[in-house]
Amino acid sequence: MFAVMKTGGKQYRVQSGDVLRVEKLAANAGEIIQFNEVLMVGAAIGTPLVEGAGVQAEVIDQIKGPKLINFVKRRRKHSSKRTKGHRQKLTLVRIKDILEKGADKSGVKAAMGAGSIPYAERNEPVKPVAIKAVKTKPSAAKEEPVAAKDKPAVVKAEPATSKAKSAAVKKPAAAKAKPAAAKKPAVAKAKPAATKKPAAKKE
């Protein structure tokens, strides 16, 4: 007996024991899943689905399809090229059983695409992330002995004594002011009058 089922936007004609590569499903290797979108089972044709029918399969592995090359070249005014590769994520399954009725009461996990389930709810194993331990240098305050805690009280008293000393050392303002030096009267230096030469007599 064969069945026509739908998954990942594609239709597959399957029989018991067939191995298929379908679009990635949210399931781990070794799990049993059930495809509930069955369009045809034997002579029964659905409208569009057959009620109560299902196809059970075992997940073999999560694989990738063949590499596809996407090459783009812009000619004439644009001399640019772009090459990208892509490998589609697929799920390898083996058909175990085809149920004509009672599939909704079997209790087997329904097959769902990986894109339709939030990442936090998927059953994919989470890879552990290695976290490097960062060594922090101890602060200077922690290294000080307990007796050092009493130092601030002594240090606080020092500014008061230094202020008193500075007040005693200060001289009065009158002593600081120096008497203005007496300015000497400016003496005008008399320049000797230039002697005029007698004019030459005309002969």
pLDDT at 58: 96
User: At 158, which helix (H) or strand (E)?
Assistant: helix 151-169
Q: Which residue has the higher pLDDT, 150 or 19?
A: 19
Does residue 147 register a pLDDT over 80? Answer: no
Determine the Cα–Cα distance for residues 100 and 40; give it in Å rounded to an integer.
9
Tokens of residue 115, six digits: 């894109």
More confident: 186 or 1: 1
- Give tens-digit pLDDT for 54-66: 999 999 999 999 9
Other C-beta atoms closer than 10 Å to the C-beta of 111 total: 26
Question: Is residue 2 classed as helix, strand or coil in its secondary structure?
Answer: strand
Query: pLDDT confidence of 78, banded at 50, 70, 90?
Result: confident
Residue in this structure with the two tokens 């202020």, named with its chain if needed: 163
Parse the chain into domains and list their residue ranges.
2-115, 140-166
The answer on pLDDT for 2 being more than 90 is yes
Rounded-to-integer distance, Cα 52 and Cα 64, Å = 32
Instruction: Note the pLDDT of residue 116.
Output: 75
Residue 98, sorted as left (phi over 0), alpha (psi -120 to 50) or beta, turns out to be: beta
Is residue 20's pLDDT more than 80?
yes
Mean pLDDT confidence for 25-54: 93
Please name the residues in contact with 48: beta carbons below 8 A apart, sequence gap of 6 or more.
39
Q: Do β-strands 109-110 and 32-35 pair in parallel, antiparallel, or remain unpaired?
A: parallel
C-alpha dihedral, 137 to 139 to 145 to 150, nearest 10°: 180
